[in-house]
Amino acid sequence: MSFTSFIDCNATMLYPKKRTEEKTDKRQHLMDTAEQLFSQHGYEAVSIRKLAREADVNIAMVSYYFGSKEKLFGAVIENKIRQMRRRLEALAAEPLTPWQKISQTIDVYVDRMFLNRHFNLTLMREMSLEQRPEHLNVIVGHIGLNLNIIKGFILEGQEAGTFRYADPELTIATQLGTITMVVNSPALSASLLGEKDPEIMFEEAIQVRLKTHIKALLQAHLMK
């Protein structure tokens, strides 16, 4: 064993927590950088070399943590969607009425989709092109888990007798479809609202208006 390897080995034994934290930090740094680049340029335009340069690491480190660009992209997707799932799971565990859960779900989705709108475009592009089944399967699989939690809120209200019967799946599609149109098609949405500048769609007033509209729509649709 070389002197350097001996030092590294002993450092790992003496400071295992620190080493683990450093590894986690580096992996997260790569995912954060990748998310930013994928959001700005799309999946195809981002090479491992470009990613390594932007993250200020060597190319071998990307391979060490993820193996390939495809697996890195999958990790970024899982990380983003799991963040939403943790929030929904926490919401499901709170002592709230089914309508309160639906209402707060709308707030969470609008806030997150506006905040992450560039990355959402990347996800939509991957789903619409269907060129990479491995990406499509990851996206659909993880988003599906999130939507099942929302479906549970609707079924809970129907079973409690506070919601009338409504198609749970298409109710979710109505909710998310409206948000997706406003966020992913700002030029069309601005035109619909009689605005000339698409950037106005990302102002806070539009987010408030969108939340208010979807809540009123679903309340009329669900509540007895």
How high is the mean pLDDT of the chain? 86
Mean pLDDT of 104-120: 91
- Residue 186 neighbours by CB under 8 Å, 6+ apart: 198, 199, 201, 202
Mean pLDDT of 192-201: 90
pLDDT tier at 1, thresholds 50, 70, 90: low
Integer CA distances (angstroms), 208 to 54, 98, 114, 204, 220, in order? 35, 21, 12, 6, 18
Total of domains in the chain: 2
- Given a contact cutoff of 8 angstroms between Cβ atoms, the answer to whether 42 and 56 are in contact is no
Instruction: Please check whether residues 107 and 170 belong to one and the same domain.
Output: yes
Instruction: Please check whether residues 131 and 164 belong to one and the same domain.
Output: yes
DSSP 24-58: HHHHHHHHHHHHHHHHHH-TTT--HHHHHHHHTS-
Would you state the pLDDT for residue 14?
A: 52
pLDDT tens digits for 24-82?
Answer: 588 889 989 998 898 888 888 889 999 999 999 888 888 899 888 888 888 888 888 88
Mean pLDDT of 124-145: 84
pLDDT above 50 (res 5): no
Tell me, what DSSP letter sits at residue 163?
B
From 67, 90, 109, the end of a domain falls on: 67
pLDDT above 60 (res 12): no
pLDDT tier at 129, thresholds 50, 70, 90: confident
- What CATH number does the domain containing 21 carry? 1.10.10.60
Would you state the pLDDT for residue 150?
A: 97
- What CATH number does the domain containing 199 carry? 1.10.357.10
Would you state the pLDDT for residue 158?
A: 97
Instruction: Please check whether residues 105 and 202 belong to one and the same domain.
Output: yes
Q: What number of CA atoms fall less than 13 Å from residue 145's CA on the CB side?
A: 15
Say which amino acid occupies 148.
N
Both structure tokens of 40? 């700005």
Instruction: Please check whether residues 113 and 174 belong to one and the same domain.
Output: yes
Mean pLDDT of 152-177: 96
For residue 215, count CB atoms less than 10 angstroms from its CB and return exposed for 0-12, middle for 13-18, buried for 19 or more: middle
Domain of 12 in residue numbering reads as 1-67
pLDDT above 90 (res 4): no
Instruction: Please check whether residues 175 and 129 belong to one and the same domain.
Output: yes
